[in-house]
Homo-oligomer: A and B are copies of this chain.
């Protein structure tokens, strides 16, 4: 910056003012400085700037880089932050709680102006403590919160939509693939979806007909689960896979085994992934508008950075998307 000041024949404070667009600079000064900046192809040192004021950078803790739904979220954020002059940096973590916490700490150490946590596994108390230190938005069913905002889909309702749909088709015995999680963690999507499933089944008087299949939401996890579902007695006529990726695994295994879908077994996913809409998959699923969710999270974070401190807990309404993998049990209502 000193070089620029010399080149332009002005003080470094003036350079700083021009660069920040601060008030109280003549247009002549602006031109001279900008010309010198150009001539020397000077770029401001973000760290030095960050030592005094904001970094104009927000951090995202990404708990699973493979999940395509999370990619959607990030795209929504990118658009909002980009248009507001904020930069976005993503710190990849794993599913483990320690990994996620250390990634979050690192983001704070880097003096990010705000944090968005995507489906964190940390406990509420811990999240509250982070929220006290830095503006924060959590994506996932985490409300109510004191010191941070949350955005999530109404996963209980989403599960209920699936159950209602299947029951209205005539299904009674329905399986749900749990994503393995500690029983005391009520703030995870898998908890909310399991809860919604159980309640909806109860509402239809089917509490004795539900089957919880322990397993993991992944392609392989879905295949494993499908194997066990076929062996169950009585065998379920429908499966709520919990997530699209798990549904893909289930479908894959069932198809290989010659099980007809949806005639023999109906399958519903969750997330409405792009792949699911395509033939020959045509997966019945629940849409939770990830793009919009990401954009909302970004806007909430900007509000918090601007000073708001009352917590917002936004819940988006999911939509059921009926496609070809669900039908009345035993009935081939549509060709596949």
Chain A residues close to B by CB (< 8 Å):
43-48, 50-51, 55, 57, 62, 65-66, 68, 71, 74-75, 78, 87-92, 105-106, 108-111, 219, 248-249, 252-253, 255-256, 274-275, 278-280
B68 with A66: CB separation less than 8 A? yes
A109–B46 Cα gap in the complex (Å)? 6
B275 with A256: CB separation less than 8 A: no
> For chain A, what secondary structure do more than half of its interface residues adopt (helix, strand, loop), or is it mixed?
helix
Point out the residues of chain B lying under 8 angstroms from A43, CB to CB.
105, 108-109
Q: How many copies does the complex hold?
A: 2
**A278 in contact with B50 (CB, 8 Å):** no
Docked-complex contact A248 and B219, CB < 8 angstroms:
no
Complex Cα–Cα for A47 and B106 (A): 11
A sample of 4 more A-B contacts (CB under 8 A), given A47-B55, A47-B110, A65-B71, is: A47-B51, A65-B74, A74-B92, A248-B275
Q: Which of B47, B74, B109, B253 contacts A111 (CB 8 A)?
A: B47
The reply to whether A278 and B219 form a contact with Cβ atoms under 8 Å apart is: yes
Bound together, the chains give a CA A62 to CA B91 distance in angstroms of: 12
A47 & B50 in contact (Cβ 8 Å cutoff): yes
Q: Are B91 and A89 in contact (CB under 8 A)?
A: yes
For residue A48, which residues in chain B have a CB less than 8 angstroms away from its CB?
Answer: 51
CB <8 Å contact, A219 and B255: no
Q: Please, could you name 19 A-B residue pairs with CB atoms under 8 Å apart, sorted by A?
A: A46-B109, A47-B51, A47-B55, A47-B111, A57-B110, A65-B75, A66-B68, A66-B75, A78-B92, A87-B91, A89-B90, A89-B110, A90-B90, A90-B91, A90-B92, A219-B278, A248-B275, A252-B280, A253-B279
Of A50, A105, A249, the most chain B CB neighbours within 10 A belong to A50
